[in-house]
Amino acid sequence: MLQENNNCVIDTEMRDIMGKSVYIAEKPSVAQEFAKALHVNFTRKDGYLEGGDHIVTWCVGHLVTMSYPDAYDPNLKRWSFDTLPFIPKEFKYEVIPAVAKQFNIVKDILTRDDVEYIYVCTDSGREGEYIYRLVRQEAGVKGKKERRVWIDSQTEEVLAKGLCERIGIDGSKLTHKPTGKEDYVVESPMKDHQIAVKLVLDALTDKDHGVITDIKEISAVGHRVLHAGQVYSDSIVVNEDVKRVIRECFDLGPLHNPANLIGIEACEAAMPGVPQVAVFDTAFGQSMPKKAYLYAIPYEYYEKYGIRRYGFHGTSHSFVSKETIKFANLNPENCKVIVCHLGNGASISASIGGKCVDTSMGLTPLEGLIMGTRSGDVDPAVVQYICNKENKTVDEVLNILNKKSGVLGISGVSSDFRDVTKAENEGNERAKAANEAFIYRVIKYIGAYVAAMNGVDAIAFTAGVGENDVNAREKILSGLTYLGIEVDHEANKKRGENTMISTPASKVKVCVIPTNEELAIARETVALV
């Protein structure tokens, strides 16, 4: 008999099977789907489901990993050219401490005397197969009959979106938006992030508004983290070393990093053993060459304090640059792409083959384009000048440059580009000046990056202004006609979807690519766990 579920076909006819059958998946959510397809009355246990002759379990967190070099020799804890290359005669593996409990559960199941068949339901790729084989190896599985279930369980379907607002202050509110159901709003005090996370988990598992039946279906949590200094150039599963680095970067990201760490630790407390993944906003900029990220100040300040250009909005730039390569059908090895992330916060990146070579934000998000409330590039002496004239401290002036400048500062109207444009259309000259200065700065940066890369294959617009402001795109592109850009004005009227807004005759492809940082974080998380 065949039972179909989400395009998976599972053989539930247990001919000639005397013992029990184990179905081992990567994630609890996938395991649940297998359980549904088997049409068996399962009882939930700690780390698995069991009913009749069937057991369903999972390898969430991958369970087993290759040992680090210091497991072979403590002297290899710090690498050096003298010890490279290091190629052991026999590779060592070990259980990942954070998920050791689940490994022991799986080990006990796979080695049970009453288990005869093991159905390997991990994703049907190299990684999925490897995950199971390492578990089998470390668990010492022998004498069982194994069958491979050929499926790919990964989808990018959104189950729910939500937002916790005003944590720690009056008027706290959770907005939960499950796909295919009505929005669910909870107005309840949230004195800290732990309470907020509990409310989120309660909403996700609510019998009427939820999208999962148990928090054990959550196999990992991805976190956007602002700053990792120069330590991490990729996303990483959080451990104590990762948290230490996040703390050490508090000075570099004083508004974001402390809150990011609080969120991570709140999730750890609510979901013990569930992998937490840090996706760093500065990671994309780590591929910049030294000539792009160094400031022309005494080198000792770079060595002592890590003062350099890092770039921000990295998760968005990484996502959009890669999507642009696919959408515009560019050569992924060497294509030159400029991404314009234009919103209340605004930045531009230049990448070759999807790797960042320059980006407009610097040590902090203050450098670069004119933004909603941020000044962007200014002469550093402006800070001293205002301090002296207004009798203000450096911190006070930096607060002005971050929160009272940009199009707000020039226009005197608003930090919202829509309000500024409305005021311009009503004859407000300062609003007009603000918009023109913003457009000019974008054109100038695009031109600089074309020069830096010695050409450009595609320009992509994203974020609130980039995706939705038709007139802003038209004005920016009108200043780039020297590049041979031809705009499809009808296509440029579209919003909110991947759109080619240049004509087939255009020498540079121009497109609108809506950013999706949540999806980017989810992809990074799935790749690691």
| 73 catalytically annotated | no
| Average pLDDT for 254-259 | 87
Give residue for tokens 């933004």: 371
Query: How is residue 110 written in tokens?
Result: 């796979």
Residue 253: predicted pLDDT:
83
Residue 154: predicted pLDDT:
58
Q: Could you tell me which of 172, 270, 156, 159 has the C-alpha nearest to residue 204?
A: 159
Annotated catalytic residue within 123, 281, 358, 469: 281
| For residue 52, pLDDT beyond 70 | yes
CATH 3.40.50.140 fits 2-148, yes or no: yes
CATH architecture entry for 222-308: 2-Layer Sandwich (3.30)
| Average pLDDT for 374-388 | 97
pLDDT tens track for 145-162: 998 887 655 567 788 899
Give residue for tokens 């996303």: 235
Residues near 169 by Cβ (< 8 Å), separated by ≥ 6? none
Do the two domains 2-148 and 332-519 of this chain adopt the same fold?
A: no
Query: How is residue 200 written in tokens?
Result: 């989120």
Q: Which residue ranges make up each domain of the chain?
A: 2-148, 160-217, 222-308, 332-519
Mean pLDDT over all residues of the chain? 90
Query: How is residue 162 written in tokens?
Result: 């939500």
Residue 383 and residue 249: Cα distance in Å, rounded? 24
| For residue 434, pLDDT beyond 90 | yes
Q: Could you tell me which of 196, 200, 194, 208 has the C-alpha nearest to residue 176?
A: 200
Buried b (16+ CB within 10 A) or exposed e, 443-466: bebbbebbebbeebbbbbbbbbbb
Q: Which CATH superfamily is domain 332-519 in?
A: ATPase, nucleotide binding domain (3.30.420.40)
Residue 518 backbone zone (phi > 0: left; psi -120 to 50: alpha; other: beta): alpha
| For residue 53, pLDDT beyond 80 | yes
Return the HEC string of 34-66.
HHHHHCCCCEEECCEEEECCEEEEECCCCCEEE
pLDDT tens track for 214-232: 888 888 999 999 999 988 8
Residue 27: predicted pLDDT:
81
Amino acid at 527: A
Contact by Cβ (8 Å): 92, 121 = no
| Residue 346 vs residue 157, higher pLDDT | 346
Residue 6: predicted pLDDT:
40
Band of residue 180 on the pLDDT scale cut at 50, 70, 90: confident
| For residue 42, pLDDT beyond 60 | yes
Residue 367 and residue 371: Cα distance in Å, rounded? 10
